[in-house]
Every structure is written in C-alpha cells, then in structure tokens.
Amino acid sequence: MKSAFIYHPDLAGFHAYKGYPWLFERTEVTYQLCKKNGLFEGKEVAVRTAVPARPCDLLRFHTQSYVDLLTKANAGVADEKWLESGLGTSECPVYKGVFDYHLLATGGTLLGARLIDNGEADVVFNPSGGFHHAGRDFASGFCYINDIVLAIRKWVGRKKRVLYIDIDAHHGDQVQEAFYETGKVLCISFHESGKSLFPFRGGFENEIGKGRGKGCTVNVPLTERTSDKVLLWAFGRIFPPLVQRFKPDVIVAVIGADALFSDPMSHLQLTNVAYVHAVEMILGSAPKVLALGCGGYDIDTLARAWTLAWSAMADSAPGEEDAVSFGGMFWGDGLSSLKDHPLFVSDHVRAETEQEVRRVVENLEKHVFPLWNIKR
C-alpha cells in the first residue's frame, strides 16, 4: 500500500482574529508528531507538498460570483454586503490571505485525488482538507471552499463509484446537499445529532436521499455522551454491509477529531482508540482512500488522533512490543503513548445512549437496507 501525506509549511502561517477556533497549525503539529515517531520513513510512504488550487478549479461546484467574492476578501477588508454569502461572520471571518489559505488547503485535496488517479498512492491524507459546510455560493462553519465535493465530482465525472464517509462530530450538510438526488455517490455520516450541535438542522436518519439518490444518503445521528462501545456497535452494523454492497472504487473519508471527548466543540464521549478503529475499518473497505482532516479544536487531541490515524494509513500501527501493557491499553513511549486512557461512562449514560442509537440503526436497517437488498 502506497501512502502519501499532504503538507505545506505555509499553512500554519495564517491568522484570523484572536480566539478564532480554527487551528491553522493543525497540519504542522500533526506533521511534526508523525515525523518524531518515524512515520514518514517507510519505502511506500511519501510526503507531498500541497499546490494551491486555481480559482477556475472551484467552478466544478462553486459559482463564479462567489469565487469573485473570495478573491476580493483575500485583502482582509470585509464588506457588509458579503454577510449574505456567509463572509465576515464570526464563523467565517474575512482576514488577510483567507482565499490563499483555502486555495492551498483545497489544492492539497485535489493533489491527493491526482496521486490516487495516477497510481502514485493508494491512501492519501490531507489534514488541512475536509470543508463539508461550504455551499455553492456561501461560507459556513469555518468552511469557505468545499474541497470534498470538488474531489468527488471529479471522480464521478470519470465514472468512478465514490463512497463518502464522515466521522466528524458535525454533519456534512453541504456534501449531502450536493449529492442528495444522485445515485452515483453513497454518503454515510456518523455525527452528533443536530438537536444538540451545529449545523442544528438536517442529518437525521429519515434523510435517505431523493429520486435516483434514494438510499444513497445514510445518517447516523449520535446522542450526546455517546461512547466508544456504542459508536463501534453502530459503525459495525451500518458501514460494512453498505460498503460491501456499493463496492466503491474510492472512499473519501472525513476524519475530524472533534468527536473526541476532550474536544471543546462537541458533546460526545469518544476516545481516539475507537476513532482509529473506525479509520482502520474504512481503510480496509476500498482499494483507494482519500482521507481529510476536517474538524478538531484542541491541538493536542487533534495531533494525537491524526498521528495514530496516519500510522494506520502508513501501516505502522503500534503493537504490544512498543509499550507497557496496563489495563488492556498501552501507555509508554512512542505511538502507544498517544492513545487515550479508557474513559469512564456510567451504566446509566451508556444505556441511555445505546437505546437511542439502537433506534436509529434499526430505522436505517428497516428503511435503507431493503433498497440495497441487504437482509438483517
């Protein structure tokens, strides 16, 4: 398996306002931690430098008028009229170089797609990608350019079967919107319910696609305080049978780290142990995988989770020989020290979340699985 990590040192050099939650240094700290742990030393592993996307590349999804607004916003001076396009809000501020940053991050995703197309990589990870809230003509939720839709549309245009799997805490609303009525893309999302988390709408289990796309949208909204055992049970019930039936040529995996218990932007109780297990299941499900970072708002949590995820992509997962065994987990030097300790979840909370997630899963098995001729 050939793996490529997308990196550019300039990504860490951008700044918005003080206290802005988006961590521009996300790729840099992940890169440095991976490097420290020797995860770029394998013969089949490469670090590739991101190249900015061209404004014309964005027109595969975004409108010309919106691209023109982003071009103007790059100077860092906001116009009140841009608020109707989501630009200049606290979520999507206008700052110097805002377009440059997102062109570079998006360019990393498009480079990853090219590497897969050219046979230069089987698995690609762009930590700076994954802007699933950006719409055709508006910015939202820290997202200005929807690199996910751009990459998927490129593959769909080449008659590729694409599966989009999103395990970020937030629902990928604009990716769902882009493919809701087409049967060419299977969209699966595990996320905290919109009843308690942004974008506070959509992403519910009764949204299963429309027209030719009926059955090609699958949402698993998770209730607050969902823990490892509950997530992995739901993931194991939903993801494997669908991916086996769909048989994708490529998977686009959004692996945001904000679903973890220590992240300040969600209310789930997941550890990076379950997170990496889900990533490993994704990696084993298709011959080609483009992984994108997306959310993550605690730098330590993000760096550890993405380093462990990259170790799986680079086929360098930690084993018992690397650390001291204690209580069924491994804590010590190297990769194993990056694993979260077991998280206590009371029996009451676990039973409560299990009941709700089981209801969601059974609903999907009843209404979506028959559309795929999957029997339970």
Which of 27, 6, 32 lies closest to 111, judged by CA?
Answer: 6
CA distance 222 to 199: 14
CA atoms within 13 Å, Cβ hemisphere of 373: 3
Q: Residue 132 in contact with residue 174, Cβ under 8 Å?
A: yes
Query: What length does the chain have?
Result: 376
CA distance 202 to 359: 17
Question: What is the separation of C-alpha 24 from the centre of its chain, rounded to a whole number of angstroms?
Answer: 16
CA distance 103 to 165: 23
Q: Residue 123 in contact with residue 288, Cβ under 8 Å?
A: yes
CA distance 123 to 13: 27
Q: Catalytic: which of 8, 62, 133, 171? A: 133
Task: Give, rounded to a whole angstrom, the gap between the first and last alpha carbons of the chain.
Answer: 33
- Concerning whether 171 is annotated as a catalytic residue, the answer is no
Annotated active-site positions, please?
A: 133
